[in-house]
Every structure is written in structure tokens, then in C-alpha cells.
Structure 1
Amino acid sequence: MQKRIEIKQSSWNEQQLLLEASPVSFPLDGVIASNQMLVDSDNLAFIYKLETASEFLYVSIKDDYWADINQAIQEKKAVVLVTKDVALLLTNMEEEIDYLIENIRDNANYGEEMEKRVNEIF
């Protein structure tokens, strides 16, 4: 079973965008950023992959937070995942988002709604 971390809200400080996660029922000991992202077009979300020594964890960033992600990229601000136990820099975010957006635009394989939302926000 995939372990997912859902973003529940976002906020800003001077240097970074904070993506605040809903509580999780699994430990986040030793979790690191993978520098990789995926697309979940069924749920209109970008997925940032995290790693532990034994598994992957998936941070679901739904379209509600894409405008903030876009602003962070435009302003060259860091994006940080915040949970009760961890604050983790999501590295390589700009490159991964740029790559995904380029692939989603004018590509019906991702679904009409996903393509529409990407074009509206990015």
C-alpha cells in the first residue's frame, strides 16, 4: 500500500513556502527528498516522492496549492514540507514541475481536467 501524505494548507515566511501536511499514522524517521515528482491526474495532484531506507512515501499536492507552488518557483523560494515531526526541503521542485507542465500541456493522456488546470495556473 502506498503511504501518502496529504497537504492540508500552505503558508509563507520570508524565504519559503510551507506545505503543511495532515497528520500521518506512520513514522517519518530518516525520510529524505527524492528530487522526483509524478502526476496523479485522477486526483488533480502533483506527487512529490520521499524516500526512507526501505520504501517510498508520496506527498500529494492537489491543485488547490498549485498557485502557491507557481509563485514559489517564480520568486525562487524554497518549498518545505512541514509535519508534526519533520520539516523537509523539497529539492529539485522547479525542474520537476517545469518538466511535468511541459509534458501535460496539449497532452490528452493526462485527462482534460488536469490539462485545463495546469494551463490555468501555470
Structure 2
Amino acid sequence: MKKLYVTQIKDGNPYIAEIAETLDLQITEQLKAGDRMLVDSDHLHFIYILEDETEFYYVMLSQETWPQLKKFREEEAEFVLLLANDYKLTLTNLREELNYLVDNIEGNGNYGEKMEKAVQELFLS
């Protein structure tokens, strides 16, 4: 499993997320959207999963990117990840997964108090 840290998200249609890591073009062409998300409650990240034939890649969406994610949830736009050589990968099912997680985290102590409070303050206010 490799982690890809989103450094910024540009509003628009599509929303464009940029990562800090540089990937080889051959790797990026093999990546597929995983259509699912996880949460890192300790570090306040939403995580979108990408995959190829041999491993998973975690797209780390830190708390600093959440204001753009909140706007994205409210709009009918696509969300793409900018990879090597301007290669773009659409993060399919992101809105649905994000909505599910936000709804599930509300009032759910399993995600930890810190994560629950951060999600409530931004997404549910």
C-alpha cells in the first residue's frame, strides 16, 4: 500500500486534486478508481482507494482539504486526481462514499472524538 497525499484541490467542474508524490506514467496508466473510502481517525484523513494489479494506493485527503470536499459534496461536478504527465483519473463514487462516511461519523464514537468533532464542525454546521 502506497500513500498519495493531496496537496490542494482546485474548485470547478471537474474538481482537480493534486498530489505531492511523483508517479511513473506506466504506474498511473495501470491505476483504477477503487470506488470506496476509508477514514484515518488519528490523523484526520479521508482516504480514497486506488488499485492496480498488485497493490492499493491510498489517496490521503487531510483536514486542510475538507472545505473543498464540502463544496464538492454540494455540487454536481466530477472529481479528478492529477497524476504524472497531466494524466487525470476520475475518483468515481467519491461523493457517495463521502456522504456515507460523514453521515456515519456523526454521533459515532467508533471514529474517535477528535474525528467526530472535526467532521461535525465542518460538514454538519
- TM-score relative to the length of structure 2: 0.88
In 2, Cα distance between equivalents of 1:82 and 1:120: 29
Q: Where does residue 106 of structure 1 map in the other structure? A: 107
1:83 is displaced (CA, Å) by 2.1
Matched, 1:68 2:68: yes
C-alpha RMSD over aligned residues: 1.4
1:113 is displaced (CA, Å) by 1.2
Identity %: 38
Gaps of 5+ in 2: none
Answer yes or no: is the 8 Å Cα contact 2:39–2:46 preserved in 1: yes
1:112 is displaced (CA, Å) by 1.1
Q: Which one-letter code corresponds to 1:6 in the other structure?
A: Y
Answer yes or no: is the 8 Å Cα contact 1:16–1:72 preserved in 2: no
In 1, Cα distance between equivalents of 2:16 and 2:89: 10
Gaps of 5+ in 1: none
1:33 is displaced (CA, Å) by 0.2
In 1, Cα distance between equivalents of 2:111 and 2:67: 19
Hey, which bits of structure 1, 4+ residues long, moved more than 3 A? 24-27
1:18 to 16, 19, 36: 16
In 1, Cα distance between equivalents of 2:15 and 2:46: 16
